[in-house]
Amino acid sequence: MTHILEADISVELTKNSKLKDIDFNNLPFGKVFSDHMLLCQYKDGAWNAPKVVPYQPITLDPSAKIFHYGQSIFEGMKAYKDKDSNVFLFRPLENWKRFNISSKRLAIPEIPEAYFMEGLKALLKADKDWIPTAPGSALYIRPFVFASGNGFHASPSDEYLFIIATAPSGAYFSGKVTVAIEEKYSRSANGGVGYAKAGGNYAGQFYPTQLAIEKGYNQVVWTDDTSHEYIEEAGAMNIFVRINDTLITAPTSDRILDGITRKSLIEIAKAEGIEVDVRKLKVSELVEAAKNGSLKEMFGSGTAAVISPISGFGYQGTDYELPELETSYAKILKTRITDIQYNRTEDPFGWRVKI
Ligand code: PLP
Ligand code: COI
């Protein structure tokens, strides 16, 4: 690991803070940006020390490889503030590890732990006042890296920019979501980049998702690319299905993002005495369970979405509605995970990191 002291990270504070213009009680998701960003350049075979600078546009040559070959990956994290204004991250090393797993798959040079972690801490120190406290809000953190080197040759770039931008944000979805189970398009394939948080994975989802939205659904549930028989993910979320009292989620694979919320919920659910079955789930089993009443709930999980209950799904021209439950697993698990994230309870798992 490269050692770096916070003091080695240069900090240039803005002279024109936008803080006073923001309505922190009515925050959209990811549309309002904090005063500063972290900037780090890869050049001549090495990452240079990161800098905290005022949030600003970046200039790129039209031949920059990001535009042509899509060499880019990102992460999604949140900073949470408790009632005493202490700031916390949730399992941030998992994001750093996944950042580098994604980078490796896209032939992007990996970021040293200290550049990621200490850079993030320096940024959060500069923008502490941007972390919102209204219920359900948090500072959404978007670390990303992309090919900034020039040239039309289809080969990895020799220069990259690693940036962390942050956005005080409210809920990702307002209310319950309905999903269409995908029967034709695929988000990912064996041997592909589905397990990476690569920008292109999201671009490829937009068109099939638009088609689903035109039919009245909010999101697509991705199925496996070969048979479209198995449930995999839901948009930018992992997916959980409760049949009777068992919570089922697909095992991670080449095609599925190893969600940090997903793996945390699996552990929390087990600690709560909920039976969790990590296994492949056939769409036909889901449909059968919806018909015979054993399908109790479905929800998506993710950093942005937290836990998003699904109220119904469409498959082969038929819509299936889920029951309204008094005490849902989604509600119990959301309370448990957010209580840990916002420092409202003990953290028996050791996931919370104070900044
Ligand atoms: N699956 C996809 C495709 C995602 O984009 C995300 C969002 O990050 C997730 C799952 C959930 O992952 P995490 O819980 O780590 O945010
Ligand atoms: C996240 O949950 O952090 C994500 O990356 C989802 C994003 C595509 C909005």
For residue 217, with 0-12 CB atoms within 10 Å meaning exposed, 13-18 middle and 19 or more buried, which class applies? Answer: buried
Looking at the chain, the domain(s) classified CATH 3.20.10.10 span 177-342
Give the residue carrying structure tokens 């589905």: 194
Q: Distance between CA atoms of 354 and 106, rounded to whole angstroms?
A: 31
Atom 5 in ligand 2: which residue has the minimum CA distance? 76
Residue 151 structure tokens: 């040239």
Q: Which of 78, 144, 223, 237 to mutate to test the pocket of ligand 1 (most atoms within 8 A of CB)?
A: 237
Residue to probe by mutation, ligand 2, list 303, 307, 337, 341, most atoms within 8 Å of CB: 303
Q: Which CATH class is domain 10-169?
A: alpha beta
Separation of alpha carbons 121 and 127, rounded Å:
10
Q: How far is CA 203 from CA 168, 187, 306, in A?
A: 24, 10, 22
Neighbours of 184 (CB within 10 A): 8
Cα 276 vs. chain centroid, distance in angstroms? 22
In eight-state DSSP terms, residue 44 is T
Task: List, chain by chain if needed, residues with CB within 6 Å of any ligand 1 atom.
Answer: 76, 233, 236-238, 257, 259-262, 301-303
Q: What is the CB-side half-sphere exposure of residue 330 using CA atoms within 13 A?
A: 23
Ligand 1 nearest-atom number relative to CA 233: 1
177-342 folds as D-amino Acid Aminotransferase; Chain A, domain 2 (3.20.10)
ipTM surpasses 0.85: yes
Q: Of 321, 296, 173, 312, which Cα lies nearest the Cα of 241?
A: 296
Packing angle, helices 260-271 and 329-341, rounded to 10? 110
Which uninterrupted H or E stretch holds 1? Answer: none
Q: Where in the chain is the domain with CATH 3.30.470.10?
A: 10-169
User: pLDDT of the chain along its 355 residues, tens only?
Assistant: 455 666 589 999 999 999 999 999 999 999 999 999 999 999 999 999 999 999 999 999 999 999 999 999 999 999 999 999 999 999 999 999 999 999 999 999 999 999 999 999 999 999 999 999 999 999 999 999 999 999 999 999 999 999 999 999 998 888 779 999 999 999 999 999 999 999 999 999 999 999 999 999 999 999 999 999 999 999 899 999 999 999 999 999 999 999 999 999 999 999 999 999 999 999 999 999 999 999 999 999 999 999 999 999 999 999 999 999 988 999 999 999 999 999 999 999 999 999 9
Strand runs labelled E in the chain: 10-11, 36-43, 46-47, 51-54, 72-74, 77-81, 87-90, 138-147, 160-169, 177-181, 219-223, 231-234, 237-243, 246-249, 275-278, 295-302, 306-315, 318-321, 352-354
